[in-house]
Structure 1
Amino acid sequence: MKKLLLFSILVSSSLYSQVRERNDIEIAPFVGINSSNYYGDITYIGDSNKALYTPVFGVTADFYMNNRWSLRTGLEYQTLGSSVYSSELINNPQDNYYYRYFYESEKLNFVAIPIHANIHIGKSRNWHINFGPTVSFLTGANFGGGKVEIDNLRKEHVGFGFGFGYSFNIHENFSLGIEHQEYISFTNNLNYSFNSNNSFIGNIAGNFSVKAIFKIPSSKKEE
């Protein structure tokens, strides 16, 4: 009974129409889970790394040009990196020397700014697809829970983002949304001055998030 009631609420709310006009703004804080890994020079990063799962959160802003297209930007905090296959030499008096193999989290912390076109589709414009460049700034890094220096890493990154989502209209100026985003970096993680082998290591990521969407109607009336 409770599941049926919840389903009825979601369906009825999704049928609630929100009219979006030119100069309207939507502000949407969000939180979600991010999956990331490295790509590029396999001889440098190895082929045994696993995806790294971390929280992602931030706020996006959509500036509407009409009821179908908007420009999306925002401020997002995300952790990229990989679960790195590692080993260490153990000196055991009974077994002499041996290697222990394990996975260690390698995390790169970024503040990201998307600059995306966002198209809103469907009869009530509940679906959207966004795409475009994303600029990121490295703020810190750690390996195995310990902070590491970032002098040998690039601080500014440029990549491409793509995503889609759906919003449940709750009120005239409020919605709840779900969204999936993908990201690929075109920038090498390694600083050129510390990269004597000319290796390339980039970041790829995907995340799923939920968001609260607040509509700020335009004060300018269309004529």
Structure 2
Amino acid sequence: MKRLLITLVAVLAAGTAAFSQTKGQTEFGVGVGLNLATVVVDETNQNAGTRAGLNVGLSADHYFSDSWSLKVKALFDQKGWSKGYLTIGTSTTYTPYQLNYITVPVMANWHFGRTKGWYLNFGPYVSVLVSAKTTANNFDVKPFFNDVDAGLALGIGYKFPVADKTKFFVEFAGQGGIADISTANNAVYRNSLSAFNIGLNF
């Protein structure tokens, strides 16, 4: 866990460096959430159920105006799917698949409403695969998955003050993969994710 936190901080620092020279306020955050993940297989989800997981991470939101900012996150993201299978060689295993990633979304963030408490963000994400295992027998299947996932991220949320310079947020987020994540089955596997998040900005 210590190595994971160090990795998240390093990724977040790298992501914010690109716009740190721009004048304006930067708001940092920490959050946690419930992931509901699955995969789309050959543009259907017949080989996939939903896997519940966790996301936890850090964010930096750099404001260019009252209405617009650039938001970068660094997340530990539990993805995967249940009630599915991969055919590896001559063996087919029906089991939930647990895919854990470090995910970095870079999103335009639009703030709206009377107090600018509401926000809508959208943009690309990149995920690096940390581990991939089956629930049955805890079998390591990482060699059968690509190391990098990429796609589009979207989120909508609301934040409100709870203390001086501290805000609590509630957020619904989603990810749609556009990259093939697996080399098995001669099929195209793409991640799909919905998440409900809470946290603090300061």
Task: Give yes or no for TM over 0.5.
Answer: yes
Output aligned runs, 1:81-160, within 5 Å: 81-85=80-84, 104-144=95-135, 146-160=138-152
Equivalence for 1:161: 153
Equivalence for 2:41: 40
CA contact (8 A) 2:134 2:141 kept: no
Equivalence for 1:69: 68
Using CA pairs below 8 Å that are at least 6 residues apart, which structure has the higher relative contact order?
1
For the residue of structure 2 that corresponds to 1:151, the secondary structure is helix
Equivalence for 1:5: none
CA contact (8 A) 2:41 2:47 kept: no
Deviation per residue, 1:53-112 (Å, 9 max, x gap):
0111111110111111100102101111111256xxxxxxxxxxxxxxx97321111000
Q: 1:168 to 1:38 in 2, by over 3 A?
A: same
Q: 1:178 to 1:103 in 2, by over 3 A?
A: farther
Amino acid at match of 1:67: D
Give the root-mean-square deviation of aligned CA atoms: 2.1
TM-score (norm 1): 0.71
Q: 1:149 to 1:62 in 2, by over 3 A?
A: same
Equivalence for 2:173: 181
The 4+ residue runs of structure 1 with deviation greater than 3 A are none
Deviation per residue, 1:129-185 (Å, 9 max, x gap):
000000110011110161414222111111000110000112341100000001011
For the residue of structure 2 that corresponds to 1:148, the secondary structure is coil
Q: For the residues of structure 1 that align with 2:84 and 2:41, how far apart are their CA atoms?
A: 16
Amino acid at match of 1:30: G
For the residue of structure 2 that corresponds to 1:154, the secondary structure is coil
Amino acid at match of 2:74: L
Q: For the residues of structure 2 that align with 1:138 and 1:65, how far apart are their CA atoms?
A: 32
Amino acid at match of 1:170: V
Q: For the residues of structure 1 that align with 2:55 and 2:151, how far apart are their CA atoms?
A: 17
Q: For the residues of structure 2 that align with 1:140 and 1:53, how far apart are their CA atoms?
A: 16
- Which among 185, 189, 192 is matched to residue 204 of structure 1? 192
Equivalence for 2:79: 80
Q: For the residues of structure 2 that align with 1:181 and 1:171, how far apart are their CA atoms?
A: 25
Amino acid at match of 2:34: I
Consecutive unaligned residues of structure 2, counting only runs of 5 or more, are 1-22, 86-92
1:48: how far off?
5.6
1:53 equivalent in alignment to 2:52:
yes
Q: How many residues align?
A: 172
